[in-house]
Structure 1
Amino acid sequence: MTKSLEQQFVTELEANQNIIHKVCRVYTNNSDAHKDLFQEITIQLWKAYPKFRGDSKFSTWMYRVGLNTAITLYRKSKRQIQTSDISDFHYKLESSEYDSEIDDQMKLLYKAIHQLSDIEKALILLYLEDKPYVEIAETMGITEVNARVKVNRIKTKLKTILNP
């Protein structure tokens, strides 16, 4: 690989690394697994980068590679993903920004998301990122209509989990 290709990759990765962290947060249950999955996704992105044609946004492509890597890794290893408290992930927030009610709601939401299937997790993650349905469909390799239907079903399922 050329030096400029490597520099482009590093620049894109740094600008979009939160995508990988979000995928890791949804598919792992502790900080060690998070770090391992982050590393594996980064490796897969690096391997696939020379083939990235730019037909879609880098972030869309990154989501697709990240989600496929996470799903494949956990299906292959046959690990049962267990839920964990979101407090395992430490965030640097100024005390004036901290809102315990929002934190509690986020913990409940992530706990509910952990109960979804791998594909449902991927879809709701993209939806929560405010990705347009066109981009969700492109990332997941489904039609836009199918993406809308699936997301609505997942939202209903999450409401049921959160409000039994």
Structure 2
Amino acid sequence: MKEQFLLLIESHPGLIQKVCNMYCYSREDQEDLFQDIVLQLWRAYPSFRSGSKATTWLYRVALNTAITRLRQQPKAGRFAELGPEALQVPAAEESPSEEMAAMYRAIRQLSQVDQALTLLYLEDCSYREMAEVLGISETNVGYKLNRIKAQLRTLISLA
């Protein structure tokens, strides 16, 4: 089970890192959130149904962890078998352009749920996948995305 889990995490390090970048400003906070997400994924892994899409499950857990910012007390013994290699934060991608930095600043002004929806949209997830991750209808996804796009245009034009 450990090997399968590690393979899943290693297959999608950018997914977790993007969630961390979206919800945290400092490198230290990003690293803390990364570790919180990996630990939450490990906890939830036994209930993962391999019939569902792995990225949908990963996003659901990562976004829920980021949004609620659950700060668990250290339980070293509970996760000892996972090993330190799972908690290593991958090297950061190159610094974003000024245009992308402005976009991230505008996205951070949105509500946490709207930030999550924007991240999923930027990852080219289908409306169905977005609805499944966030627990809303596909129609609601479309409505919210139109509202978010208008809001982002306004925020960027004011910057």
TM-score, length of structure 2 as denominator length: 0.83
RMSD: 2.0
Q: Which amino acid aligns with 1:56?
A: S
Q: Which amino acid aligns with 1:59?
A: T
- Partner residue, 1:19: 15
Is it true that 1:146 corresponds to 2:140 in the alignment? yes
Q: Which amino acid aligns with 2:140?
A: N
- Residues 100-153 of structure 1, C-alpha deviation per residue, up to 9 Å, x if partnerless? xx7111010001011011000000000011111111011111111111111111
Q: Which amino acid aligns with 1:15?
A: S
The alpha carbon displacement at 1:74 in A equals 6.8
Give, in whole Å, the separation in 2 of the partners of 1:157 and 1:55: 36
Matches within 5 A, 1:5-84: 5-73=1-69
- Partner residue, 1:96: none
The alpha carbon displacement at 1:9 in A equals 0.6
Of residues 91, 102, 106 in structure 2, which corresponds to 1:112? 106
Give, in whole Å, the separation in 2 of the partners of 1:10 and 1:74: 22
The alpha carbon displacement at 1:92 in A equals 4.3
Moved >6 Å (runs of 4+): none
| Structure 2, gaps ≥5 residues long | 72-90
The alpha carbon displacement at 1:91 in A equals 3.1
| Structure 1, gaps ≥5 residues long | 76-88, 94-101
Is it true that 1:91 corresponds to 2:87 in the alignment? no
Aligned sequence identity (%)? 47
Give, in whole Å, the separation in 1 of the partners of 2:70 and 2:151: 22
The number of equivalent residue pairs is 140
Give, in whole Å, the separation in 2 of the partners of 1:27 and 1:70: 7
Give, in whole Å, the separation in 1 of the partners of 2:68 and 2:147: 23
Give, in whole Å, the separation in 2 of the partners of 1:139 and 1:152: 18
Give, in whole Å, the separation in 2 of the partners of 1:56 and 1:159: 35
Q: Which amino acid aligns with 1:20?
A: I
Q: Which amino acid aligns with 2:25?
A: N
Is it true that 1:123 corresponds to 2:117 in the alignment? yes
